[in-house]
Amino acid sequence: PAPGARLEAHRQRCHMALAHAYDALIMLDHADHALPYLSPAIEARSASARFLLTSRRLPPADLPIHVLALHPLELEDAVSLFVHHARTRDPDFEPTSELPELLDALDRLPLAIELVARRARLMSPAQKLLHLRRHHSLLTLADDGTRPLQQAIRSSWDALSPPIQDAFAQWCVFEGSFDLEAVEAIVEVSHRWSGDVLEELLSRALVCADIQSPHRFRVLASVQTFLHTTHATLDAAHTR
C-alpha cells in the first residue's frame, strides 16, 4: 500500500489499542512522530489510560498534557550514572579528578554519559576528554555501530525549514551562554524575527535555557559539534 495508507492503518490500530487500554500506563520514548496519532485519543480521553511521553519538542498547547522540562543531571547524579555504566565494562573502574570536566563536556546528558562510560576499558576520563574534543562522534557510538545521540539531533534538525536551518547553523559561533540581543546582532534570519526562531529552537530542544541566568540561553556541546559540521557543509554548498 501507499505510504499514506500505511500511516492511516497505523493510526487506526493505535486508536483501537487505546480504546481498550483501561487503567493502563502507556510509556513512549521519542514520541515526536507519534503525537499526531495520539493527540485525538488524548483530547477525547477515550480510554482511561495515562501517557508518559518523552519528546525533543513541545506538544501542541491545546493538549491536556503536563510538560516537565528535563535539565542536565546534577553533578553527583551524573557521576553516579557514569560510574554505574563504566563498571558494567570495567568492574575496577574508579572515578578520577578529570571526570567532572568530562561530564560537563557531555552536557551531563544521560544518553551521552552512558555511551562514553561504556568505553571505560579503552581510555581514562582524561583521555576521553581529549578524544571527545577532537572526535566527538567516535565516543558516542552505540554497541551496534549507530549514533543515537547524533540521530536524535538530526531528527530535530530535519524538522526545521531550510531558512531556519541556515540561521541555526550560524549559531556555532556562540560559546557559553548568550541572549536574544546577541542572536539579533550576529545571526541573519530571512523574513523571521530572531525571537521567533529562538522560540522554535527551544521547543525542539536544540537550544536550552541557561538555568543559572534568566533570559540567557546556550547550545549543548553535542549540538554545537553537529552545527560546526553542518555549517561547513552549508558553506561549501553556498560556494558552489
208-239 tens-digit pLDDT:
888 778 889 988 877 887 877 776 555 554 44
With cell 568530562, the residue in question is 102
pLDDT for residue 164: 87
Single-letter code of the amino acid located at 85 = H
pLDDT for residue 200: 86
Lowest mean pLDDT among 21-30, 82-91, 106-115, 135-144: 135-144
Tell me: pLDDT of 83 over 90.
yes
Residue 107, burial from CB neighbour count under 10 angstroms (0-12, 13-18, 19+): buried
pLDDT for residue 192: 80
Lowest mean pLDDT among 30-34, 141-145, 157-161: 141-145
Select the more confidently predicted residue: 46 or 160.
Answer: 160
pLDDT for residue 1: 44
